[in-house]
Amino acid sequence: MKDHWRRVRAQPLAIQIIWAALAVEFLAALWERQWPLAGVAAITGALTLAPIYLSSRVGLRLPTAFLVGITLFIFATIFLGEAFDFYNRYWWWDVVLHGGSALGFGMLGFLFAFMLFEGDRFAAPAWALALIGFTIAVTIGALWEIFEFGMDQIFGLNMQKSGLVDTMGDLIVDVIGASIGALAGFAWLKGRQLGGFTGVFGDFVARNRRWFRKHRD
């Protein structure tokens, strides 16, 4: 537990700022007796702590870029999106979040597949690992759309907004984001650069050598 809280305190400034904003909003909501807003702030804060806690439990060390990206995504999705209605205020909010999450899941899917081979770059073709990463990301996106449909049908919510058009638009953005994430993994294995994305793979492998014992730089 002490090690967990040490890792929490050592997080980058961007994450610390988000936590501070959530704490201030939580206390302000309690003062004004806005219980739903206080609840959303508390839940958002707990979810941003989850990746740090879970990664430490399984012995993974996530790169700073991953942690910042996950924290920003949770903050933007739940707190800004739902509590402050950014989804309805800004038409592009949902598009950006879907694209960003799909890109991240594409990269994580690639790393997961690479981890199964313990980092052996010759155990499977680079394109096959990229395809697995792409498939994982698109599958997660499709499952989320099913979740939105179920929530709308069961609880009468409006998560799908315009229905079929919203769903198909989200899936298209998911495919684009997943393609970029998987392509970044392919480029990294081939020793090429794809913007700033490829550096994240090397950082992840370097931090988690015991999961990639067969990897050779």
Reported as a pLDDT band with limits 50, 70 and 90, residue 144 is: confident
**Length of the chain (residues):** 217
Half-sphere exposure of 160 (CA within 13 A, CB side): 21
Average pLDDT over residues 3-13: 68
Mean pLDDT of 115-137: 92
Q: Supply the pLDDT for residue 154.
A: 78
Q: Are residues 66 and 117 in the same domain?
A: no
Question: Measuring CA to CA, which residue among 144, 60, 63 is closest to residue 102?
Answer: 144
Let me know whether 108 and 201 are in one domain: yes
**Residue at which a domain ends, from 66, 90, 114:** 90
For residues 78 and 145, state if they share a domain: no
| 107 and 212 inside one domain | yes
Residues 109 and 72 reside in one and the same domain? no
The average pLDDT across 124-134 equals: 93
Locate 87 and state its tokens. Answer: 């989804």
Same domain membership, residue 168 and residue 77: no
The confidence score (pLDDT) of residue 201 equals 92
Percent of the chain with pLDDT over 70: 94
**Angle at Cα 213 formed by Cα 133 and Cα 112, nearest 5°?**
15
From 64, 90, 116, the end of a domain falls on: 90
The predicted pLDDT at position 102 comes to: 93
Using N-to-C axis directions, what is the helix angle for 126-155 and 93-116, rounded to 10°? 130
pLDDT single digits (tens) 152-181: 787 675 667 777 888 888 899 999 999 999
Q: What is the spatial distance between Cα 57 and Cα 45, in angstroms, rounded to a whole number?
A: 19
Q: Are residues 82 and 133 in the same domain?
A: no
Looking at the fold, whether 9 and 82 belong to one and the same domain comes out as yes
> According to the model, what pLDDT value does residue 23 have?
93
Q: Are residues 74 and 99 in the same domain?
A: no
Residue at 133: amino acid letter: G
The count of domains in the chain is 2
* Boundary residue ending a domain (55, 72, 90): 90
Boundaries of domain holding 42 = 1-90
Q: What is the pLDDT of residues 33-91, one digit of tens each?
A: 888 888 888 988 998 988 888 888 888 888 888 889 899 988 998 888 877 888 888 88
Please tell me the distance from the alpha carbon of residue 129 to that of residue 133, in angstroms, as a whole number: 6
Same domain for 2 and 69, yes or no, is: yes
Share of the chain above pLDDT 90, in %: 39
Place 31 in a pLDDT band, splitting at 50, 70 and 90.
very high
Q: Are residues 25 and 111 in the same domain?
A: no
Are residue 117 and residue 148 in the same domain, yes or no?
Answer: yes
